Amino acid sequence: MAIIAKIGQILNTPIKTGKVVKNSSNPFDPSTFKGSVLPADVFVSSKAKNKLKLSTFVGSIGDAFPTFRKGIESVAAFGKRMKEGFSSAVHKINEIGSTEISINFAGMGKAIKSGFTSMIDNYSVSKLRKNDPKTLEAMWKEVSGLNIAA
């Protein structure tokens, strides 16, 4: 009850009206409405004003808060959705970055390396097979050096 009385007291205090710049060219300019608030019940008689103000205020509390709560909830849900969307996007990017691209690069590098190695390697089995046993014997002697038992 005390709160309601206080609210009433606040609402009863005269509304400040600011100076209106008469020579303003733009009627919607913020400076035009400096400190001035137009009451909603301008055309209601002064006796009914207080009642109307209170009822409007109380009504607005009942109406505004659920709406406001809904608004907060929807903002939170939106944020959550955005977060999820962003994290999934990041996850996808990471996935692409760490698997497909890196594997392709690694495979490509490996293929180039093995191709290059087989090109310059005279000791690959496929190349050695083309030599006759005597040549292979000579190559074996050259590679093993002193390891042949006399």
Partner 1 sequence: MKDIRKIRNIIEALCLHQDPDSVRVLEEMGTNCSDDEVRELTARALIRKNQHDSLAVAITNKGKGINDMSTVVAMSTINELLALDNKEEALKILTDTVEMHSDEEVRENARSVKALMALS
Interface residues with partner 1 (CB under 8 A)?
123-125, 128-129, 131-134, 136-137, 139-141, 143-145, 147-149
**Cα angle, residue 23 at apex, residues 21 and 29 outer, rounded to 5°:** 60
Closer residue to partner 1 in complex, CB, 60/124: 124
Closer residue to partner 1 in complex, CB, 66/133: 133
**At 71, is the secondary structure helix, strand, or coil?**
helix
For residue 120, the minimal CB distance to partner 1 (Å) is 14
Residue type at 28 in one-letter notation: F
For residue 143, the minimal CB distance to partner 1 (Å) is 5
Closer residue to partner 1 in complex, CB, 67/131: 131
For residue 98, the minimal CB distance to partner 1 (Å) is 33
**At 38, is the secondary structure helix, strand, or coil?**
coil
Classify residue 25 by its DSSP letter: S
> For residues 30 and 41, is the Cβ–Cβ distance under 8 A?
no
Closer residue to partner 1 in complex, CB, 2/150: 150
> For residues 52 and 12, is the Cβ–Cβ distance under 8 A?
no
Q: Is the dihedral of CA 22, 31, 44, 49 positive or negative?
A: negative
For residue 146, the minimal CB distance to partner 1 (Å) is 9
